[in-house]
Structure 1
Amino acid sequence: MHPSTRTAVVTGSDSPMGRAVALALADDGFDVGLAYAADRDSAESTAADVRTRSVRAAVQRMDLADLPDSAAAVDEFARELGGIGVLVSCPGSTAVECIQRAVRYMIASGGGGRIVNITTASSGLGGLTGLLAAELARYSITVNSVVVPAAEPDFACPGRDDGEVAAVASYLTAPAGMFVTGAAYVVDGARIAMIPHSLTETGTRRPPHRANRIRSYTGRWAPTRWTR
C-alpha cells in the first residue's frame, strides 16, 4: 500500500543527498516538492531532472533561519501538487513546524503517509522518530530515520554514496515498507559502530544516556496538534 497522495516533499534538495533522494522518489512515481535553503539554481536543476521522469516538480525556499514563516513552503507544495503523502528530511534542513504541517495533510487525506528523517547520530531528530512513530501509527503514518555520518555543510561525505541513502528512503516510502515504523537504518560504513561508548565508573562501556533529550520533545507532540 502506497500513501494515497502521490506527492513527496524533500527538504535540503539543494544538497547532493537531497538531489539523490528526489530523483529516486521521482523514479518511484512521486510528484516531488523540492525545498531548498540557499541554492535555488541547484534545486531548479534537480526539478528539471525530476520532470524528465514524467512526474511534476515544484520548488520552494525553506530556510530554517526564517521559521516559522518558512514552514509555509509546506502549504505551498500541498496547494501546487495536491497534498502531501511523503516527507523526507535531509540533515539540518527541517524543523518541528515543517513536520507538523506535512502531517496535517497526511491525516486530512485519510490515506496515511510516510516520514523519513535522514539524520546524524548526534541529532535530536533521531530520538524524535520513535515518539512520532508511536503517536502517528493510528493515522497509518510511518516514521523512520536513516542515520548517516556527520559531514560538511553541503552534506558531501567521502566514502558515502548518496544513492545508497536514497535507496533506503525509497524502500521506506514503498509498499514493501508499509509496516516498518520507528526504525533507524544506519548507512555509514560502520563508522558509528567504531565510536567508543562512554565509560562507567566500573570501566564497563555503555551508550551515552539520551533519555532527557528525548523526553524534552514529548510536550510538543500532543495529539491535538495534528488536526488543528
Structure 2
Amino acid sequence: MASNKTAVVTASDSGIGKACAIMLAQQGYDIGITWRSDEKGAQGTAEEVRKLGRQAQLIQLDLSDPQQGGQALEKLIAQLGRIDVLVNNAGTNIEGEFLDIAFDNWRKVFTVDVDGAFVCGQIAARQMVKQGEGGRIINITSVHEHTPLPGSVTYTAAKHALGGLTKSMALSLLPHKILVNAVAPGAIATPMNDMDNEDAHNVSLPHIPAGRPGDTREIASMVAWLCSEWSTYTTGQSFVIDGGFMLANPQFAAAQQQNDR
C-alpha cells in the first residue's frame, strides 16, 4: 500500500466519525473529513488530525442527495490524491411505527443510510480498483442491523439493508483485494445522545448488561483494526459492539429487577 495512506470518514465532525478519523490518523492515515451542518466540529476534527502530523482535507457532504454527495466525495478524493479507506459513517433516523410512518420519511432515511452508502462505496471502490492496491470499506451500521429498534421501522430496515449491502460488496470486491465489513454499535456516548466519552464511564444504563454506554473510541478501535495489516482475512462481517445489548433477554431483565429490590 502507498506510503501516503488516506482514509475518508463521512460525518466525522463529531461522535463516532470524529473518533474514527483521529484513530486512523494515529495509525498513519491522512484523513478526508466530511460534515453536513457542523463545519466548526469538522474543523475541530481536522485540528486534532493535524496535531498528529497527518494531512486533513474537509468538504461538506449531504447525502440527502446521494449523487450530489458523491460528487463532493470525488472532489475530496482528488484533494487527497487517492483513497485507501472509506468509513461510511453518515446516517439519519426518523422515528415512526410501521402503521404510521409516511412514505416520504421512509425514503428520506433510506436515501441517506442506504443510497448514500452505496454511492460513496461505489465511488471509493472504483478509485481503489484504479489504484490497484486494494483497500478497505467499513460501513457503520448499528446493533439494529441485527435486531429491531421499537418505533423506528425505517432505521431498522435501512440498517438491515446496509448489512446486506456490506456482504454483497465484500464478495464483489474481494478479487480486487478490497475488504468490506460492518461495525454495529449499540448505545454510544455521542453528542447525538447528549453525551461525550467521559459519560461512557460515568453514566448508568441498567438495561444494558455492561451497565453503561459505549465510548466512541471503543468503536473507532475496531474500525482501526479493520484497516490494519492483521485484518486481511476478514471480510463481509458485522462486528457488534454493544455492551451485551444483543444478549439481553426477559430473564436478564427479570434478574436485574430482582437484584434492584
Higher relative contact order (CA 8 A, sep 6+): 1
Q: Which has the higher helix share?
A: 2
Provide runs of 4+ in structure 1 moved above 3 Å: 2-5, 150-153, 155-158
Matches within 5 A, 1:31-42: 31-42=30-41
Aligned amino acid, residue 173 of structure 1: C
Whether contact under 8 Å (1:91, 1:119) holds in the other structure is no
1:3–1:88 distance in 2 versus 1, CA, 3 Å:
farther
1:81–1:91 distance in 2 versus 1, CA, 3 Å:
closer
Instruction: Work out the percentage of aligned pairs sharing the same amino acid.
Output: 37
Whether contact under 8 Å (1:17, 1:155) holds in the other structure is no
Among residues 247, 255, 261, which one is paired with 1:193 in the alignment? 247
User: CA deviation digits over 1:132-152, x for unaligned, max 9?
Assistant: 111100000000011112678
Aligned amino acid, residue 21 of structure 2: A
Whether contact under 8 Å (1:5, 1:84) holds in the other structure is no
Q: Answer yes or no: is 1:58 the counterpart of 2:80.
A: no
Q: Which residue of 2 aligns with 1:100?
A: 122
Q: Which residue of 2 aligns with 1:128?
A: 165
Unaligned runs of 5+ in 1: 197-228
Whether contact under 8 Å (2:46, 2:56) holds in the other structure is yes
SS in structure 1 opposite 2:32?
strand
Aligned amino acid, residue 129 of structure 1: T
User: CA deviation digits over 1:9-64, x for unaligned, max 9?
Assistant: 00111221111000000000000000111101100110011011111000111111
Matches within 5 A, 1:198-213: none
User: CA deviation digits over 1:85-114, x for unaligned, max 9?
Assistant: 100122516421111111111100000000
1:125–1:136 distance in 2 versus 1, CA, 3 Å:
same
Whole-angstrom CA distance in 2 between matches of 1:169 and 1:15: 16
SS in structure 1 opposite 2:136?
strand
Larger Rg: 2
Q: Which has the higher strand share?
A: 1
Whole-angstrom CA distance in 1 between matches of 2:79 and 2:49: 16
Among residues 99, 117, 121, which one is paired with 2:139 in the alignment? 117
The RMSD of aligned alpha carbons is 2.1
1:161–1:3 distance in 2 versus 1, CA, 3 Å:
farther
Unaligned runs of 5+ in 2: 92-111, 146-155, 201-212, 251-261
Whether contact under 8 Å (2:86, 2:138) holds in the other structure is yes
Whether contact under 8 Å (1:35, 1:61) holds in the other structure is yes
Q: Which residue of 1 aligns with 2:182?
A: 145
Q: Which residue of 2 aligns with 1:183?
A: 237
TM-score by length of structure 2 reads: 0.70
**How far 1:4 moved relative to its partner?**
7.0
Whether contact under 8 Å (1:3, 1:114) holds in the other structure is no
Give aligned pairs, total: 195
Whole-angstrom CA distance in 1 between matches of 2:137 and 2:124: 9
Whole-angstrom CA distance in 2 between matches of 1:38 and 1:192: 32
Whole-angstrom CA distance in 1 between matches of 2:121 and 2:131: 16
Aligned amino acid, residue 192 of structure 2: D
Moved more, 136-145 or 146-155: 146-155
